[in-house]
Structures are given as structure tokens and as C-alpha cells.
Amino acid sequence: MATERPAKLRVFSLNCWGIRFFSKLCTQRYEMIGELLDREQHDIALLQEVWSEQDFLFLKKKLSSSYPHTHYFKSGVIGSGLAAFSKHRIQDALLYQYSLNGYPYMLRHGDWFGGKAVGLVILDVLGLKAHVYVTHLHAEYSRAQDEYLPHRIVQSWELLQFVRHTSCGADLVVLGGDLNMHPQDLGNRLLRSHTGLRDCYTETGTFDGCEDGHTLIANNHFTKKQDLIPFEKGIRIDYILMKGSQRVNMKCESLSTTKGSVADKPFPYSDHEALTAELALFRSEDSRQHESGNTPAVSEQMDVVTEACAVVKEGLCQTEAMRDKAMHLVFGSLLLLLLPLVLAFLPCSCSFSFSTVGLLGAVCISLFLSGALLYLLFTTHIKVLKETEDQMMLTSNDLQTKLTGCQLSGSSSSDGSPELQPRSPFKREE
């Protein structure tokens, strides 16, 4: 039962595009973002791509009175880029760095160097325990030939596992961030169907923002138009998701996005649009019934996990092939290394200087080391992909058991949380 005058929670999310010396007008934009946050006084602001700690510290100082509680999540070489600014006390924080996140040699993409992750801050909001997640998934550089799809699916899986296993004691759950996935992309469906998280855009009472909730739009000063093809109008890849609990029902009353330009300013806050959600919290003694209306059927969960598992399997085959190539490089360079060795010891070697032999040797050793490093890299990727596949199979089997149980008992839906299986009474042994 909802109370008549609900408590409100205002949540903000923005990918700040904060790559120092690369992102345009970074300093000025952080100044604008700081002003916006200070003016709007959200309950919680979730930022992504705050790659420089100095920029975080600038915002922290500027917002010390409006957002006295902050956490900057540190991981990877550059950082996770994730930051949380809160009006409410942060009791605890936890970070899970994704196991797969591109390749270190893909310097022009660079995702690997940012330790992409999901961060959790636990807040005390009006006496309620709020689990607030912020995340940023691997970018999609080509929709037609997305070589990172298995990585993003593994990240989606790790994200949903992290959320569903760490949100158990929460009164309310909010997730904000740049998922780098369109609304109906596999990873997005996987996340929503297995956590019960609901998309504020599709749930909101009122919406004020870009068409179809787009957060990457052509009408943004910083957007490269060719990146949007074939979605000229824009795409929606930034989200605020939410979920209540047995104690609290949640409803998104309004959602807004920035619209590519800022009044009285010559450029926007970022190359992404910002999201602001106003969430209403209703006290409820039995919200399960209410929440379950929005959660997918077990059969849908089964379908989506099967689809995801197929992508992981394909990623596994590709990575095994890459590991094999790395092994060929290792053996090839070892064979090649025989050449300088032979030159050094054969009688005819007099015609080759020590330095020639040395140079050839150095080249072979460099090739060998490169091959060995790549072999190690792909081997760890294979381990991660296999672990993900195994976990997906376990979930699939568990869903199958639930489905069989549901069919036997005549019911056909579940909210997907792992504790919903009917419990037999505590049996005793002799």
C-alpha cells in the first residue's frame, strides 16, 4: 500500500567525457557540471568518465556543502572514471572491476587502461538503506562488426551478478551509468531480466528530454555525426534503473535529459546528455506483489541467458583462435632464434658481425616476449569466458528447475531473484 505523500529521491547521471588533454574544453565543462550539480542539489549524482582524480577533487571541493559525501572509485591504470556525490551519508563502498575489458594493445580504443567496473555506495536515505550502483561498460566502436560484444556481455553478466548478490539487504536499489548498449540490446535485456531493475525512461510518469530518451544526439556540439550512423536521430545508452524491496515501492515520477545545448553557455556539459530522475518512495508492507508485476517470466529469463551464453561461446572460440596465433608467434620466434644461434657458432659466421647476430637475436626475443604476453592475455580471457559460461549454465539449470516447479504448481512467473524458490521446511537428520 502506497503512502499518500511519498519521499523523493533525485538521482543524476552523466558521462562527463573527462579525458584530460583530449576531451574538448574539459576544465570549462567541469566548471559547468559543478554549477549544475550545486544548483540542482540532487540526492545523489553518479558520474562516469571522470578519468582524472584532479577533476574529481575539483568537484568535491566545489560541492563540499551540497554533496558532503563522495566516493571516487579507483581501479585499472587510469582509474574506473566512476564517482558518486551524495547528500546522504555513504556508509560503505565496494568496487567490482570487470574481468574482461578490451585489449591493452588496442591503444586507439583505450578501454583496457580504464579499469571499467561497477561501484556500489551504500547510503542511509531517510532511514532507508539505499544501494546505489554506478557503472560504465566497454564502448561499442562498430555496431556492424562489434569485436567487443562478448566482453560487453561478460560485463553485463558480472554487473547483474554483482547487483543481485549485493542488493539483498537493500530497501531500494538505483543503478546509473553509461551501459554503452541500446535499450533492447542483449546485455541490457540480460541485466534487467535477471535483476528485476526497471528502466526509469520506460516507467516514468512524465518525461522532458531528447526524442526517445536519446543520450547521444546529433544536436550536441561535441558529437561526431558519423558515430551515430545509422541512428541519425540519436541513441540511448545512458540509464537510470531502479528497484524497490519488500519495504519500499519505487516509482519514477519524472525523468529529464539535457538537450544538447545549455542556456547561456556556448557548449554542452559533455558529449553525452545528462539524466535526472525523480523517484518516489512509498512505504509498503508487502511490495512484492507490486514489484513482481514488472519482473519478467522465468521463460524470458531462460531465453535471454541462452542467447547470452551463445555469444560467450562464440567469444570463446574467437579468443581460443587468438591464443593459438599467439602460440604460433612464440614458437615461430623460437625457431627464428635458432638463426642467430647458428650464425654465431657456424664457421661461416665470420662474415656476420657480433652486432648483426645480436640484433637478430634481440628481434627474435622481442617477438617471443610479445607472443608470450599475448598468450598470457588470451589465456586469462579464456578463463573468464569459461567461468561466465559455467555460471550462465548454472543459472539456466536453476531456472529450468524453477520452471518445472512452477509448471507443476500451475504458476509461471518469478521475479528472478535467487531466493524466491519455495523453501521446504528445515528437515532433520538422525
Site for its own copies in 147-176 (CB under 8 A): 161, 165-166, 168-169
| Contact pattern for its own copies over residues 269 through 308, marking x by CB under 8 A | ------------x-x-------------------------
| Residue 430 is a binding residue for its own copies (CB under 8 A) | yes
| Residue 427 is a binding residue for its own copies (CB under 8 A) | yes
Site for its own copies (CB under 8 A): which residue of 48, 155, 276, 395?
395
Task: Decide if 71 is catalytic.
Answer: no
Site for its own copies (CB under 8 A): which residue of 246, 401, 407, 411?
401
Q: Which helix (H) or strand (E) holds 223?
A: none
Q: Kindly tell me which of 30 and 72 has the beta carbon lying closer to its own copies.
A: 72
| Residue 93 is a binding residue for its own copies (CB under 8 A) | yes
Count CA within 13 A, CB hemisphere, residue 26: 15
| Residue 394 is a binding residue for its own copies (CB under 8 A) | yes
Residues in CB range of 174: below 8 A, 6 or more apart: 9, 11, 44, 130, 131, 132, 133, 240, 241, 242, 279
Helix then strand count (H, E) for the chain reads 9, 15
Please report where in the chains the cell 617471443 appears, as a residue. 368
Q: Which of residues 370-389 bind its own copies (CB under 8 A)?
A: 376, 379-380, 383-384, 386-387
Contact between residue 176 and residue 276 where contact means Cβ atoms under 8 Å apart: no
Q: Which of residues 168-227 bind its own copies (CB under 8 A)?
A: 168-169
Site for its own copies (CB under 8 A): which residue of 31, 35, 38, 124?
124
**Alpha helices by DSSP H, 137-222:** 149-166, 186-195, 200-203
Q: Kindly tell me which of 1 and 168 has the beta carbon lying closer to its own copies.
A: 168
Residues making up the chain, counted from first to last: 430
Residues in CB range of 101: below 8 A, 6 or more apart: 76, 111, 112, 114, 115, 116, 138, 151, 155
| Residue 400 is a binding residue for its own copies (CB under 8 A) | no
Choice among 88, 131, 138, 272 that is catalytic: 272
Question: What are the φ/ψ torsions at residue 346 (nearest 5 degrees)?
Answer: -75, 155
| Residue 20 is a binding residue for its own copies (CB under 8 A) | no
> Catalytic site residues?
272
